[in-house]
């Protein structure tokens, strides 16, 4: 998925994908998403992904780089059918670090919502005259960063240059696999003390969530590759794929 050379104020990018039953799709981007300075309007990116029954989606884009004075608003909505699994990576830089632009953007707003059927609905079949079950939110994350006006919105991450999240959600994975993967991911996060800081948590939905901060782009990339390799190994016994970069 190509986010273009960069986003400016007023741009509105939409990405929609629907995975059919039993498919396995890896989506990535060729380079970082650059968000340029804007005096008023934000650049917007809306991503809607629908994962069919027993399908697998891996969403692994490059990092988002909000330039000084930029305004960015992003939403990622994922609908999971029964048996579906999503691996979702979302990362942002503090700015153009090499130019000493750290936390100098005007605002960044981000929403991630993963929906699926409630446990009681998964085995139910709609009767005559009844509408099919409607997906409900299983996991929602929202944040708004405004460094100049709301310095507390950046808070403890201000001393770091990269912030990232990894969501691995799906009801087709055994509980023992989640427990084993939890330990493996936590061990990976401890391999770069002082360079990477993170933790693994268990959400209400079946799965795991990893939150981390990193000192540099190589630290971020190498950590992602290790986390991704562990997820693929434990969930599907698959090796990682070489992601093409331009």
Determine the pLDDT at residue 124: 58
Confidence band of 135 (pLDDT split at 50, 70, 90) = confident
Q: Which residue has the tokens 């579906």?
A: 84
Determine the pLDDT at residue 242: 84
Percent pLDDT > 70 in the chain is 90
pTM for this model (two decimals): 0.90
Determine the pLDDT at residue 199: 97
Confirm if 215 and 195 have CB atoms less than 8 A apart: yes
Report the alpha-carbon distance of residue 170 to residue 166 in Å, rounded. 13
Report the alpha-carbon distance of residue 123 to residue 136 in Å, rounded. 15
**Counting Cβ atoms within 10 Å, is residue 151 exposed (0-12), middle (13-18) or buried (19+)?**
exposed
Determine the pLDDT at residue 157: 73
Report the alpha-carbon distance of residue 43 to residue 108 in Å, rounded. 10
Confirm if 172 and 154 have CB atoms less than 8 A apart: no
Pairing of strands 85-93, 162-170: antiparallel
Confirm if 52 and 21 have CB atoms less than 8 A apart: yes
Q: What residues are paired with 128 via a beta bridge? A: none
Question: Where is pLDDT greater, at 159 or 84?
Answer: 84
Longest C-alpha distance within the chain, in Å? 63
Determine the pLDDT at residue 28: 93
Report the alpha-carbon distance of residue 56 to residue 71 in Å, rounded. 32
Confidence band of 4 (pLDDT split at 50, 70, 90) = confident
Determine the pLDDT at residue 7: 94
Q: What's the mean pLDDT in 207-225? A: 96
Out of 152-161, 167-176, 202-211, least confident range: 152-161
Out of 28-37, 71-80, 123-132, least confident range: 123-132
């Amino acid at each position: 998925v190509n986010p273009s050379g960069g986003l400016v104020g007023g741009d509105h990018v939409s990405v929609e994908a629907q995975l059919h039953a039993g498919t396995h799709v890896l989506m990535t981007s060729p380079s970082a998403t650059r968000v340029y300075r804007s005096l008023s309007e934000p650049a917007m990116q809306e991503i809607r992904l629908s994962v069919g029954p027993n399908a697998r989606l891996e969403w692994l884009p490059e990092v988002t780089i909000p330039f000084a004075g930029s305004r960015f608003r992003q939403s990622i909505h994922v609908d999971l059918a029964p048996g579906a699994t999503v691996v979702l990576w979302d990362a942002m830089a503090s700015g153009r670090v090499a130019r000493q632009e750290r936390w100098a953007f005007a605002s960044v707003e981000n929403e991630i919502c993963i929906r699926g059927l409630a446990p009681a609905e998964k085995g139910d079949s709609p009767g005559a005259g009844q509408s099919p079950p409607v997906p409900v939110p299983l996991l929602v994350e929202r944040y708004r960063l405004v460094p100049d006006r709301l310095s507390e919105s950046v808070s403890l991450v201000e001393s770091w240059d990269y912030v990232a999240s990894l969501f691995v959600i799906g009801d087709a994975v055994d509980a023992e696999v989640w427990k084993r993967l939890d330990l493996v991911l936590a061990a990976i996060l401890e391999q770069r003390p002082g360079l990477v800081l993170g933790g693994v948590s268990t959400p209400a939905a079946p799965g795991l969530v990893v939150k981390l901060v990193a000192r540099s782009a190589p630290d971020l990339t190498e950590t992602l590759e290790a986390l991704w390799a562990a997820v693929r190994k434990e969930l599907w016994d698959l090796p990682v794929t070489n992601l093409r970069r331009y």
